[in-house]
């Protein structure tokens, strides 16, 4: 049951002491405001990092051939390395843990893509079917390249949405033919990519077809694969295995830093994740510290309020008020003030973050700062707990007041 008389009395007490109530509420409002803004900023950092990995699998490893910089077994440094189909097959068979795998081969020189009278210069990537998962390619129409395309050297092509727009406009592209440097390919799919516009201006063709049609022999520029659910340590072991295997095949020192360039996105993502975890911990410590300072301030102010109301509390107890009723009075007054002030701080914090997200220019590692539902619930729980803690000590002191001593208090 709600005691309306008690709440009316609490409201009248708060209105009679406007300055005291305002100071009490400000400390809590400021603490909640700072906590919300800090949590929202942490979310902005997290979303910024996730945005950087939006178009690449976070569990992927990229291997690119380089140029030797160390002598090895009588061979001089400075040799250029090239991957072959046999390297690709060897890695697929002998490196445990690979989930999806692809190579990349590029057509040298200017690549002219034509459809009837429409034409444009677009980048063409010769890949395997697994490339779709490494690059997070989104197939919007038709299909992606498959194993039959590679096995039968089919002249199949998957074009980006911007390529379709440039060559076909509003017309359907599936089943139609395009020319790549004079070689006719059939469009089997249209894809989209969440990365930059350049990612949507690509044309994917089977690597075996490109090697045969454009004089690429069995050469490839890059080998990339995903590591499944491998841990950071396991992905690093896979990286070492790849380096040792290719070093044996191409006769270079495995310790040569320029022979291979390996990008381990598992390691990069984990590094960012650890940094973000540390930042979130720091944010919570600062936010809770600010909130604790507000709670201490509220408790001190309520101590003063109890001292000022010593005679009033003594009279209450003299006419039959129980210690519980006195504790309840002080606690509910404190919780009311902190709840209202905390709500104001929460709303101001949300509006501040909303304003920042609209005003701040887009940055690579800070995007759309906002408070998620868990953060708001956590802030609300902290608010309630803070109000109870702030009022407990003054309430206990009020309950311990003896009526005789209180009546003689000046």
Question: Residue 232: how many CA atoms within 13 Å on its side-chain side?
Answer: 8
Assign 180 a pLDDT band (cuts: 50, 70, 90). very high
d(Cα 272, Cα 48) in Å, to the nearest integer? 11
Q: Angle CA(160)–CA(157)–CA(120) in degrees, nearest 5?
A: 55
Q: Angle CA(84)–CA(151)–CA(62) in degrees, nearest 5?
A: 40
CB 83 within 8 A of CB 262: no
DSSP for residue 135: T
pLDDT digits 0-9 by tens, 195-247? 777 888 999 999 999 998 887 678 888 999 999 888 999 999 999 999 999 99
Residues with Cβ < 8 Å from 143, sequence gap 6 or more?
158, 188, 189
- 390: pLDDT strictly greater than 90: no
Q: Which of 19-28, 102-111, 305-314 has the lowest mean pLDDT?
A: 305-314
When pLDDT is averaged across residues 357-376 and rounded to a whole number, the result is: 68
Which has the higher per-residue pLDDT, 309 or 242? 242
Q: Give the start-to-end residue ranges of the domains of the chain.
A: 4-53+270-407, 60-265
CB 223 within 8 A of CB 63: yes
- 147: pLDDT strictly greater than 90: yes
């Amino acid at each position: 049951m709600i005691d309306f008389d008690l709440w009316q009395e609490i409201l009248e007490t708060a209105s009679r002491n406007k300055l005291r109530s305002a100071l009490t509420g400000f400390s809590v409002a400021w603490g909640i405001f700072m906590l919300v803004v800090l949590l929202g900023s942490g979310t902005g950092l997290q979303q910024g990092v996730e945005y950087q990995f939006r178009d690449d699998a976070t569990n992927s490893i990229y291997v690119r051939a380089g140029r030797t910089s160390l002598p090895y077994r009588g061979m001089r440094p400075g040799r250029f390395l090239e991957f072959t189909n046999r390297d690709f097959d060897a890695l697929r068979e002998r490196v445990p843990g690979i989930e999806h795998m692809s190579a990349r081969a590029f057509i040298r020189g200017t690549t002219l893509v034509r459809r009837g009278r429409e034409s444009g210069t677009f980048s063409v990537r010769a890949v395997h079917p697994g490339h779709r998962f490494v690059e997070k390619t989104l197939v919007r129409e038709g299909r992606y390249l498959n194993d039959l395309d590679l096995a039968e050297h089919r002249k199949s092509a998957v074009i980006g949405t911007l390529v379709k727009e440039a060559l076909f406009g509003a017309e359907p592209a599936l089943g139609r033919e395009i020319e790549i440097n004079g070689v006719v390919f059939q469009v089997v799919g249209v894809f989209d990519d969440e990365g930059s516009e350049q990612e949507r201006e690509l044309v994917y063709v089977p690597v075996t077809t490109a090697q045969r049609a454009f004089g690429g022999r069995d050469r490839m520029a890059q080998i990339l694969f995903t590591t499944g659910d491998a841990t950071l340590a396991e992905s690093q072991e896979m990286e070492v295995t790849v380096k040792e295997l290719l070093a044996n095949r191409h006769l270079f020192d495995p310790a040569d830093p320029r022979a291979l360039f390996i990008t381990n996105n598992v390691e990069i993502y984990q590094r960012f994740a650890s940094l973000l975890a540390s930042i979130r911990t720091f944010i919570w410590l600062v936010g809770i510290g600010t909130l604790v300072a507000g709670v201490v301030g509220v408790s001190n102010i309520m101590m003063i309020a109890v001292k000022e109301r010593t005679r009033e509390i003594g009279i209450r107890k003299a006419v039959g008020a129980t210690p519980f009723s006195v504790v309840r009075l002080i606690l509910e007054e404190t919780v009311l003030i902190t709840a209202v002030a905390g709500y104001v701080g929460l709303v101001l914090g949300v509006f501040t973050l909303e304003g920042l997200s609209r005003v701040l220019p887009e940055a690579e590692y800070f995007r759309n700062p906002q408070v998620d539902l868990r953060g708001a619930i956590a802030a609300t729980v902290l608010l309630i707990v803070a109000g109870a803690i702030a009022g407990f000590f003054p309430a206990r002191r009020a309950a311990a007041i003896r009526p005789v001593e209180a009546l003689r208090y000046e």
